[in-house]
Amino acid sequence: MRRVADLLDDAEDCLGAAKDLLGTKRWAKACFLSQQGAELAVKAALNALGKERRRHDIHSLVEEVGEEKGEVLQFVEEAKLLDQYYIPTRYMNAFSEGSARSHFTERQAVEAVEIAERIFLKMREIAYEDSQ
């Protein structure tokens, strides 16, 4: 089932929310929503290529897109950074003490948003060129 537009819409919504959260100093949630935005964007590109994936590891999803669109492999390392924000940004039991939010910084959040935006823009380009 083709859900390219829906996936990109949700990806853009996550990225918008992540940017909003930068202004409220909610670093952990900005990191998480950046991860979500990038994940959904990569899934949109895969969907445009006729594939539907349910896993959450962005780097392996990027590698799969890269099998057909080699230029995206430049994002694998950055995707691995975002992968680290999937669980610990939400669950304090990922750490021995402190709230989940206390373990993330402004620098991490800003970097996560920037990475997610770059991934989003490239995946949107691929999704639209291949869903036509």
Structural domains of the chain sorted by starting position, each given as residue range(s) with its CATH number in brackets: 4-130 (1.20.120.330)
Q: Collapsing DSSP states into helix, strand and coil, what is residue 84?
A: coil
Sign of the CA dihedral with 94 first, then 95, 100, and 101 last: negative
pLDDT > 70 fraction of the chain, expressed in percent and rounded:
97
Alpha carbon of residue 51 to chain centroid: 18
Mean pLDDT of 66-83: 97
29 within 8 A of 103, measured Cβ to Cβ = no
Pairwise pLDDT comparison (71 vs 92), residue with the higher score = 71
For the ranges 7-11, 51-55, 74-78, 111-115, the lowest mean pLDDT is seen at 51-55
Pick the residue with more confidence: 108 or 92? 108
Q: Contact, 40 vs 20, CB < 8 A?
A: no
Position of tokens 């402190």? 98
What is residue 23's predicted lDDT score, i.e. its pLDDT? 97
In the three-class reduction of DSSP (H, G, I as helix; E, B as strand; rest coil), residue 43 is classed as helix
Q: Quick one: pLDDT at residue 38?
A: 98
Residue 55 has a pLDDT of 87
CA gap 24, 7 in Å, rounded: 26
pLDDT at 130 over 90: no
Average pLDDT, stretch 30-54?
96
Average pLDDT across the chain, whole number? 95
What is the pLDDT, as a whole number, of residue 2?
87
pLDDT band for position 1 (cuts 50, 70, 90): low
Tokens of 75: 């994002």
Q: For 24-75, where are the alpha helices, taking DSSP H only? A: 27-48, 58-66
- What would the mean pLDDT of 77-89 be, rounded to a whole number? 96
